[in-house]
Each structure stands twice: as structure tokens, then as C-alpha cells.
């Protein structure tokens, strides 16, 4: 497989992971674990292809999702919605090895302000 094939495959899988993350925004409790796995896989896959913006955003989402599901919507849910929008935009322009885009950096910075969860 060529690098382009891998990138295309990434785009296909990432769309599924993004759908899981969007579901989190609507169902923050029931969709919690699936969203964690999606963020984790997205982070790893992006790292493999050196897609830095997606990797960084996904890494912060994974960190915030790493604890047990909360009883109600987390405080960072609005920022998570913006992160999903950012990821969607990034998926439209996949550039392996490029520096993170400005929107990705801004979302990353906002997510970074929230304390992470703790695993049970």
C-alpha cells in the first residue's frame, strides 16, 4: 500500500471515530466509553500518519474521557463540540507531516485547560 492508500484508509476510519465523538456530545453518559476508544484510536492512527493537528486534538479528548463516565454532561462538552467541528475540517485536508492548523491549536489549547479524568 502507498502512503496515499493509508491516508485514504485513515479518512474512512476517522469518519467513524468522529461519529462516535459527536454522539458523545448528544449522549455524554451512555456514549462515554465508545468515545474514549474512538479518541484513542484516532490519536494512534493520526500519530502513525503524522497528522499532528488531529493527533493533538484527539489526545486531549482521550485524556478528558479517560475516567469513568460522569453522572451528567461534563463542563467541557461545548469545547468537545468545537473539537469535533475542528476534526471534521481537518479530515477534509489531510496533510501528513504538516504542523497543526491554527484552529486545531486553538481547540487544543481550550481542551488543555480542563482537568483530565482519572481511570477507575
Partner 1 sequence: MSAEPLHVLIVDDSALMRAMLRQALRDLGARVEAPATLDEAREALGLRGGHTDVDVLLLDLVMPGTDGLTFLRELRAHAHLQDLSVVMVTALQEDDRLDEAFAAGANDYVTKPVRPTVLCARTLHAARLTRALRARREREAQLELMTASLRSLNEQLTELSVTDGLTGIANRRAFDAHLDRALSLHARSGLSVTLIMLDIDHFKRYNDTLGHPAGDACLQEVAALLRECTPRRTDLTARYGGEEFALLLLDTDLAGGLTVARRVVSALTARRLPHPGSPLGFVTVSLGVACTELTGDVSLREAADQALYRAKHAGRHGAFAWTHPLDMPGAPDRRPPTPAESVVDEPPP
Chain residues that interact with partner 1, rule: CB under 8 A: 1, 5-6, 9-10, 13, 34, 37, 40-41, 43-45, 47-48, 50, 62-63, 119
C-alpha cell at 38: 474512538
- Give the nearest distance from C-beta 104 to partner 1 in angstroms: 18
- Give the nearest distance from C-beta 3 to partner 1 in angstroms: 10
- Give the nearest distance from C-beta 37 to partner 1 in angstroms: 5
* Alpha-carbon gap, residue 15 to 23, rounded angstroms: 12
* Alpha-carbon gap, residue 25 to 27, rounded angstroms: 6
**Residue nearer to partner 1 on the CB measure, 72 or 92:** 92
Amino acid at each position: 500500500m502507498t502512503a496515499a492508500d493509508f491516508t485514504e484508509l485513515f479518512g474512512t476510519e476517522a469518519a467513524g471515530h468522529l461519529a462516535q465523538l459527536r454522539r458523545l456530545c448528544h449522549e455524554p453518559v451512555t456514549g462515554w466509553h465508545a468515545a474514549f476508544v474512538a479518541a484513542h484510536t484516532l490519536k494512534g492512527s493520526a500519530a502513525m500518519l503524522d497528522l499532528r493537528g488531529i493527533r493533538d486534538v484527539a489526545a486531549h479528548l482521550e485524556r478528558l474521557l479517560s475516567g469513568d463516565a460522569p453522572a451528567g454532561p461534563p463542563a467541557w462538552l461545548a469545547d468537545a463540540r468545537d473539537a469535533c467541528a475542528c476534526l471534521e475540517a481537518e479530515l477534509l485536508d489531510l496533510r501528513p507531516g504538516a504542523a497543526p492548523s491554527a484552529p486545531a491549536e486553538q481547540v487544543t489549547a481550550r481542551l488543555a485547560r480542563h482537568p483530565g479524568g482519572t481511570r477507575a
